[in-house]
Structure 1
């Protein structure tokens, strides 16, 4: 007799965490390369400048998501509180950007700047989405991916004598628990997943850009 599978779908938080593990910064080739001790400081400096350009401006993506029309109730308050904590991360980014020195000279600088501006616009659109769950998914994926991004920032900081203080952002476990507690059924789950996927796509694009910039510097 054929057995019918009764397996249940993964919890939303577990599902988004798996997406970040598979498609996020921690599994991208260029961040792995940046972690090598022999990595030129100019490559780390380029990454710091790019991350500051993408995520160092106010309002942060988290703050934008907290005010999105599709965000409400306890989740809105959770994001408001985290937006305040992320202010410290933006200050750290600014300090680190100054410490690593000027942006390394790279062919195609104007095109790179235009790409990052477009990415910032795409993230703003996600964070301000009217679709219930989209902004939350993007913000949650950002927080989960920031764990790996922060490791790169810490490596850069160690090279220039600026060690970032302990993050006040929620732990990955806390972010996953928030997602698991969301209501709204399949519609919200799909929107959360979409927001997370789009956020990760923008971060992947950034790392690919930085990899290409490093190659251009080596060939220049």
Structure 2
């Protein structure tokens, strides 16, 4: 994780959450930024690399139940109930879109160490499932809110994959930034809960950065081999 990530400060969990996503999320990762470029042709990734990204994002987040679904079974906060229902419904649509994009882009390119890479992402998915089922109040919600906030940048990558594969990008109906941060403020304010929210968010973002690190490494291996 980035050393620039903010330290915990009591009473401002929504601001901490937003700063964590900005510092350690998908938008701050160099390889993800290259994958999301749709205008500067020289900076674009080849379609096989984009297909690789779609495949591995699908391995991490394409299965039901996911982070948000598990969080909905763990949260007892009335202030989060409507947000969780809306987020779960919207992410079901995102999974369908992810599957469509992955099929359109084609299979992940053959890469040395393929089995090890799939095992690594399977372990990441297991880590997220465990995180989202934590009984520590605030932890699962922290992961779910970080996913919704960071998904915008991941979705931008998927939209670039869709465009390159000849598909029309679909609208995203996940709760927006303001609604998500409002929920963070509503359920936070207690020292222990705020720490748990921050922990869940940090762990979710660490898995996302790990995924982009893996995808960047896979692309480097293919470039060297080619």
Q: Which residue of 2 aligns with 1:45?
A: 51
Mapping for residues 190-209 of structure 1, pairs under 5 Å:
190-209=195-214
The reply on whether 1:175 has 2:175 as its aligned counterpart is no
Equivalent residues of 2:86, 2:174 under 8 A apart: no
Q: Distance in 2 between matches of 1:55 and 1:171?
A: 19
Q: Which residue of 2 aligns with 1:161?
A: 166
Mapping for residues 79-90 of structure 1, pairs under 5 Å:
79-90=84-95
- Equivalenced residues, count: 212
Q: Which residue of 1 aligns with 2:28?
A: 27
Equivalent residues of 2:68, 2:87 under 8 A apart: yes
Using the TM superposition, name which of 209-218 and 31-40 deviates more.
31-40
- SS of equivalent to 1:181: helix
Give unmatched runs, 5+ long, in structure 2: 1-8
Mapping for residues 107-122 of structure 1, pairs under 5 Å:
107-122=112-127
Q: Distance in 1 between matches of 2:76 and 2:143?
A: 12
Q: Which residue of 2 aligns with 1:4?
A: none
Q: CA deviation at 1:46?
A: 0.3
Q: CA deviation at 1:77?
A: 4.0
Q: Distance in 2 between matches of 1:110 and 1:21?
A: 32
CA-atom RMSD, angstroms? 1.4
**1:14-67 deviation digits (Å, cap 9, x = unpaired):** 110000000000001111121343310111110000001110111121111101
Shift in alpha-carbon separation, 1:10–1:26, aligned structure 2, 3 A: farther
The reply on whether 1:137 has 2:138 as its aligned counterpart is no
Rg bigger for which structure?
1
Q: CA deviation at 1:71?
A: 3.8
Equivalent residues of 2:26, 2:209 under 8 A apart: yes
Equivalent residues of 1:47, 1:210 under 8 A apart: yes
Q: Which residue of 2 aligns with 1:128?
A: 133
Q: Distance in 2 between matches of 1:74 and 1:160?
A: 40
TM superposition score normalised by structure 1:
0.92
Q: Which residue of 2 aligns with 1:186?
A: 191
- SS of equivalent to 2:110: coil
Runs of 4+ off more than 4 Å:
none
